[in-house]
Amino acid sequence: MAVNSLRPPRLLKTILDFLFVMLIISVAIWTAVGIIYYFLPKDLVPIRFNDEKLGGIHGIILSILGLLGQLLFIYIILKFKSLVRLFFKGEIYTYSQVKNLRKMGSAILIYALIDPIPFFIYKHFLESNPRTVDYGFGFDSFLFIIALGLFFVFLSRTFENAGKLKAENDLTI
């Protein structure tokens, strides 16, 4: 099979474009609401987390940590989009792909560590009636996200080795 015949599905590109736009809109709205909340009297619009009122610095810290997780997720989608764009151009085993895969894998690993922090802080320290937390083992589990990040880092190394082999192969007659 020729390398040029490997084309990613257009549906993948469309889904990534749609997801990226929706994430940008949601983060913009979330940031605007956060800024408005900062300037309003705190009794007027309380921050609610799982139907409990959070006030003061706790609500702000949880919101900022959640926002950081969302910004990191947008960065992951952006790197994924640029990787898919390179595939659409017909480029394969290039340094740009290796760099995008490595950055995407590293960002996924950082996201796996940052994203559960607000939930953990709330459940263990701020909730009025702390209860047992079920962390689950589905697609959104901590271990699966770590494994996904490590997979992309490994895939970047594989692409790097394949790129070196391709360059050596192109030099031989």
Overall number of domains in the chain: 1
Is residue 52 one of the residues assigned to a domain? yes
Residue 31 in any domain: the answer is yes
For residue 131, the model assigns a pLDDT of: 59
Query: Under 8 Å CB-to-CB from 126, ≥6 apart: which residues?
Result: 49, 54, 58, 62
Q: Is the pLDDT of residue 162 over 60?
A: yes
Query: Residue range 104-122: average pLDDT?
Result: 87
Nearest-5° Cα angle at 17, 14 to 19: 105
Q: What contacts 21, CB < 8 A, 6 or more positions away?
A: none
| Residue 133 · residue 123 · CB < 8 Å | yes
Predicted local distance difference test score (pLDDT) of residue 1? 43
> What is the spatial distance between Cα 112 and Cα 110, in angstroms, rounded to a whole number?
5
Of 34, 38, 44, 42, nearest in space to 64 by CA:
34
In a domain? residue 43: yes
Q: At 64, is the pLDDT very low, low, confident or very high (cuts 50, 70, 90)? A: confident
Structural domain containing residue 163:
7-171
* Token representation of residue 37: 């909340």
Specify if 2 maps to a domain.
no
Q: Per the domain annotation, does 1 fall within a domain?
A: no
Dump pLDDT digits (tens) for 5-59. 566 688 999 999 999 999 999 999 988 877 777 776 656 655 665 565 656 676 7
Please say whether the beta carbons of 114 and 68 come within 8 A: yes
Cα separation, 49 vs 128, in Å, equals: 11
Judged against a pLDDT cut of 50, whether residue 156 lies above it is answered with yes
